[in-house]
Structure 1
Amino acid sequence: MIEKNEIKALAEEYLKNSPDYLVDIIVAPGNSITVEIDNDNGVNIDDCVELSRHLESQLDRDAEDFELTVTSAGLTSPFKTHRQYKKYEGKEVEVLTKKGEKLKGTLKSSTYDNFTVEVSKMVKPEGAKRKTEVKEEQTFNYDEVKHTKYLIKF
């Protein structure tokens, strides 16, 4: 079986001087390899083709057969890298915590340790007849969330 670390090293070496960056590598049984890349300005199909050709040229099908797919990170896919969080700062996201709480808000900032989301809540102030909208910032460590996704609005 082809090792994930081998594919990772080849892909990172190829992408090091590129605006594209590696998001994930999946090596499934039967040597079905999926390489997922992203770019701060969106991935071009030609970028996927070029990386695929590079990886194909570095691997020996005669020694071990494989199936290779190079794709961009899906727009609705969960974030997997810090750079994806940086890319979507200022945009609306959905956060699902490990406690099962689902929040929607604006991704305000991210560091290598955590990220902050501004969430709007309807709160009824004491003595008021109606609820008013209150914005609140919540900070999460990455290990506290199941996923964070970009919310597409039409």
Structure 2
Amino acid sequence: MTFKEKVSELVNAGLAEKPDVFLIDLTITDTFKIIVTLDGDNGVNLQDCIDINRAIESNLDREEQDYSLEVASGGVSAPLKLVRQYKKNIGRTLQVKTATDTITAALVDANDEFITLTWTAREPKEIGKGKVTVEKRLELPYADIKEAIVTITF
């Protein structure tokens, strides 16, 4: 078993005890720096990170392989990567980049194939001068999303 496989197995074992916490990313660098990025259906707290850190560290031998370990939450500005993250952020505003556009809109639904966004836009009137506010709605497949970030407004 490779070092990465062993670490992955330990992370999954630790997460099995925390069903509302899930793995976003596991990176092991050439210098054996282990970076575990977590998210949770109800967020990730410090204790979640400590528990996963312990699940890994207590089962690895530094004599066998020297390593450094970092376990953290993805953070509010981290791009969404998993369908589960989109589902937990329904009702929030996202900034979504596609190949041709950047849209800031409310995430109103997310399923296994696509997300549904709504926003208002000012468009020219069909007749006469001026603009009118219209309600826009878009069903966007995950494959078309280059990056999506939850926006925080104060």
Q: What TM-score, normalized by structure 1, do the two folds share? A: 0.91
Distance 1:148 1:32 in 2: 27
Give the 3-state SS of the residue equivalent to 1:137 in structure 2: strand
Spell out the pairing of 1:36-51 with structure 2 (5 A cutoff): 36-51=37-52
Give the 3-state SS of the residue equivalent to 1:108 in structure 2: strand
8 Å contact kept, 2:14–2:51: no
Give the 3-state SS of the residue equivalent to 2:146 in structure 1: strand
User: Match of 2:29, as an amino acid?
Assistant: A
Distance 1:78 1:60 in 2: 33
Give 1:87 shift: 0.9
Distance 1:152 1:64 in 2: 41
Question: What is the match of residue 28 of structure 1?
Answer: 29
8 Å contact kept, 1:109–1:117: yes
Give 1:135 shift: 1.4
User: Match of 1:34, as an amino acid?
Assistant: I
Question: What is the match of residue 101 of structure 2?
Answer: 101
- What is the aligned residue count? 152
User: Match of 1:120, as an amino acid?
Assistant: T
Aligned-pair identity (%): 30
Question: What is the match of residue 142 of structure 2?
Answer: 142
**Residue 64 (structure 1) aligned with residue 65 (structure 2):** yes
Distance 1:2 1:100 in 2: 40
Give the 3-state SS of the residue equivalent to 2:3 in structure 1: coil
Give 1:119 shift: 2.6
Distance 2:44 2:74 in 1: 8
8 Å contact kept, 1:37–1:70: yes
Distance 2:53 2:100 in 1: 38
Give 1:31 shift: 0.8
Question: What is the match of residue 17 of structure 1?
Answer: 17
8 Å contact kept, 2:108–2:116: yes
Q: Which runs of 5+ in 1 are unaligned?
A: none
Distance 2:6 2:144 in 1: 30
Distance 1:88 1:132 in 2: 29
Give 1:56 shift: 0.5
Root-mean-square deviation (Å): 1.5
Give 1:39 shift: 1.5
Residue by residue over 1:34-62, the C-alpha shift from the partner in whole angstroms, topping out at 9 and shown as x without a partner, is: 10111122211111011101100122211
Q: Which runs of 5+ in 2 are unaligned?
A: none
**Residue 121 (structure 1) aligned with residue 124 (structure 2):** no
Give the 3-state SS of the residue equivalent to 1:54 in structure 2: helix
Q: What TM-score, normalized by structure 2, do the two folds share? A: 0.91
User: Match of 1:115, as an amino acid?
Assistant: I
